[in-house]
Amino acid sequence: MAAPRAASRSVVAMRDAGSDPPALIVADPGAERDRLAAELSLLGFPSIVRTSGSPWHDVAAWVALVVVLDDLETAARRVEQARSAPGFEPVPLLWLVRPDAFAHVPDLDGSDDFIGVPYAVAELGVRLRRLRRRSGHDDPDLIHRGPLAMNVATYHVTLLDRTLDLTFMEFELLKLLVRSPGRVFTRDEILARVWGYDYFGGMRTVDVHIRRVRSKLGQDHAWLIETVRSVGYRFAQVHP
């Protein structure tokens, strides 16, 4: 059990640092897995690893991709379990299939794409980037911050699998904070950027709207908006 706990801590560290979403490698320890992790790093995908026999749905909401190089039958059961976890369904999954396992490819209902082993690193990179774009991680209109997703073009906001019903000003306030996680905005800045320089309302307007947004995030996620005493507010530095 030590390995899964260590992997979970690494995910939390990357999430809190605001680094790029990692790829989850599902594979047994060995040279193949080490080489895959090194190749993904060169392709611009930081990675964490789990074996197919270990649970990994707990990190699924924080990853951008899942790459499976392992026993297909065991991994398929894990995918079925993980797909039911909040936040995992939109995460694209790529299978690396060995020649002796191609007969089982039609049974990979939980996969989005597959590539044969051995593979060309350049092709792997192209497939992963296409999957990431299809999942919305590279869409400039979409902002992903941990469990929160905002579409700035459609004004649609989801928290895990729940749609948030925000007013226009609540949306603009949340968007301002979400676009710069970790940055502290003073109440003056928020008033100027969201309500405009010609707005004559007082600072209480900001506090009231912050409370409303936190209420709609819910008790379990109100912490996403942090108060910096005597200064203002910021969005927590969660994983993009």
Determine contact, residues 22/13, Cβ cutoff 8 Å. Answer: no
CATH topology of domain 142-235: Arc Repressor Mutant, subunit A (1.10.10)
Determine contact, residues 124/115, Cβ cutoff 8 Å. Answer: yes
Strands 225-228 and 232-235: antiparallel
Contacts of 210 (CB under 8 A, 6+ apart): 173, 225, 227, 233
CATH topology of domain 2-135: Rossmann fold (3.40.50)
Consecutive sets of 10 residues in the chain, 240 residues long: mean pLDDT of each?
A: 40 42 80 88 80 67 66 66 62 78 63 80 83 63 80 87 91 91 89 76 85 95 94 81
Would the pTM count as exceeding 0.75?
Answer: no
Which among 218, 122, 214 is positioned nearest to 170, based on CA atoms? 214
Domain ranges of the chain: 2-135, 142-235
In this prediction, residue 222 carries a pLDDT of 95
Residue linked to tokens 């299978």: 95
What 3 state SS string does 4-66 have?
HHHHHHHHHHHHHHCCCCCEEEECCCCHHHHHHHHHHHHCCCCEEEECCCCCCHHHHHHCCEE
